[in-house]
Structure 1
Amino acid sequence: MVTVLDTADIAPDDRAEAMYTAMISASVPCFLIQEESGAGIRARMNIWPMEAMQVFSTESTGIRLVRTAKQARADDAAPLIAFAVQTGSQGRQSHLGHQRLVPQGHLLMMDHSAPYDYAWSGDGASRCIQVSLDQLTLPVDVVRSALPHLAASPLYPMVTDHIAHLTGNIEDLLGDPASAGIEEITLGLTRALIASAARQDRHTRAALAETRLTQIRAYVRRHLTEPDLRPARIAAAHHISERALYKLCAQAGFHLTRWIIEQRLEGAREELAHPSGSGHAVAAVARRWGFSDPTHFSHRFKDAYGISPRDWRDRAYETS
């Protein structure tokens, strides 16, 4: 986490300028209008840069952010799409010809390649993810047509809940090796929400299928160490048949069983290489990652990495 602003550490006369600088560094150039002045300005902003997206939080006294058409045209960076959950006060959004009140706990979307006006009064807060349009792999016209219809999508509550939990627990998630696919999951969910809200059948079908697949991958990652993780259990957990599960994976060019084994091997490899794993028996690590037969595990490991698990553990220990 990077704390880019905490007005408690800033002289009152410098707070307005400091908040403006922090805001445009976290997001995009815009005008910032403060409801308070001097010592009345209170704000804290944190940023969590990730590989495919950026998470940031803002808590402050009343603000208004205005991005003009001129600023949007002058910005030659890759277009950013923001998804924000209003976590304090009530937001007001005017964007692409639509005006909306955003109650606490609700989600809004912003296309930074277009002008907007966004504000709240009193002590407010927002938690936001920003992704590039390229990462969403959806045309900008689909994104824009979805904006006024987000809340009508059946996916809206699920995506709002996901982003709220993601941004609210980002520290714990980033520190958990089992959350490695969180960006992929988030991109899949936001893509599906946009496609659903835009009512674009072709995009909707593809996005929903991809979202289901990312949910399956996330489920597998959460339960990788459990020996009974089999296709029947995975299918039942997602309320589909095994046949539908295999069909979904095949359409995506994704071999489920092979991928589970690869993920388990990688988890075991990381554990064996970790300094705390130097005293762990290979058989115990194998069992912990779902391999009941240590000999089978050793063969799989050597086929995958060209070295036995024991030699890999010892080499990692010697170089640590």
Structure 2
Amino acid sequence: MIYHFIANPEIVDFFRDTAGHEAGACIDSEHQRFTNSAWAWIAQTAVLLRDAGLPVSMGPELRPDAVNLGLAADLRRLPRTADCFRVSIDADQLRARWSNAFIVQNKAQAGRRAYWVPHWPQPGLLKRDPDRQGFKNVVFFGLARNLEHEEAWWREVCGQFGMQFSVRPPAQWHDYRDVDVAIGVRRFGRKKFNNKPPTKLFNAWIAGCVFIGGADSAYYQVGSAGKDYLIAANERAFTYHLKALSQSPQLGDQMILEGGRKVNRLGLRERTCHHWMELLTREIGPEFERWSETSEPFRHLQLRAGLVMDGGVRFRNRCWRRAKDFCNRAAFWS
């Protein structure tokens, strides 16, 4: 059985160039590439699974004789024929519902034919300097536009406790050497972001930093709030955590130890690779074999049902966007 990854020419070249080399070292040496879904989900997964011994191929087109794995957006650009078995890697994209199986990044998305896989940790991650004392540098690893408030607000709050705040650019997402507290707050409030992964928490555990996150479901699915990470559901909670870390650094040190213990069981590259191997060989591989034994009319029926469902979801989303736009316009003119 072959596991075929759908990828663009640049990723295909990387896949070919790294053949015969240690996968992890190749990925870490080019960590600057892995800042989008195509590199994080496709390139990384294919190279590491090939290194682990699975029969893996890669190319821009579907293969009728293989398990085809691709980002949902890439599958949408390919022919929707009934002669290929597809696995939609949803990431942050609209699920390709005519696929035969789905891979999701949040446990809340798992269900019938939808399987959760922990996201890979940050390639080339440089851990926090073990000689650092106390908690001074607070860093957000992400795009500034995804922060709840302007950067000035974060700098002001951190400054109240003698701390510095900064947003780390994508080219430095791997560098935690001077980081004491990593931030993963998308929004203050109780929104669970059930389509987002716990990657920022994994990275903080591996790096040896304290992690302060929002109410994201992904964090409490894998972590223990108050023990190996902190939740800041509102501005007051965020301020409280900074005050506690500044006045009682030992609390942060203990949290870092707990995170280190947790990541040894979940979150390391080796554990994620094992999870992928188990999923493909025990779940998706057998599904492909059963599908291969079905009749052509059944495959066409299954494909058509998925297309109808996909059309319904897209129509619903268009209606929702138009209604939201109408409400925004009405509020503007009122």
Q: TM-score range by the shorter chain?
A: under 0.3
Highest Rg: 1 or 2?
A: 1
More strand per residue: 1 or 2?
A: 1
More helix per residue: 1 or 2?
A: 1
Larger relative contact order (CA 8 Å, sep ≥ 6): 2
